[in-house]
Amino acid sequence: MKKWANNNKLYIIGAVVGAIGGFLYWNFVGCASGTCAITSSPINSSLYGAMMGALVLSLFQKEIKTSKENNIS
């Protein structure tokens, strides 16, 4: 589990920061009418923020090259 967490730490950090950001967006901006699909509920807004945060920080993940890629004949 510790190895998995180390390999995916940017995804985890992005998800946590995004979830907090999504909740704060719902709390301060939100959707007054309740018809907005994402911002009408704190759960939806937090989950969407977590997904976006993980995707954005995954852009900075280094690609691990395998030995087959390094030894192209």
Q: What is the mean pLDDT of residues 13-25?
A: 95
The reported pLDDT for the residue numbered 36 is 85
Asked if 53 and 19 count as a contact pair (C-beta separation under 8 A), the reply is yes
Give the domain ranges of the chain.
9-59
Provide the whole-model pTM: 0.76
DSSP three-state, residue 65: coil
Asked if 61 and 10 count as a contact pair (C-beta separation under 8 A), the reply is yes
Token pair recorded at residue 66: 């395998």
29 has pLDDT over 60: yes
The residue type at 28: F
Cα torsion 32, 36, 41, 44: sign: negative
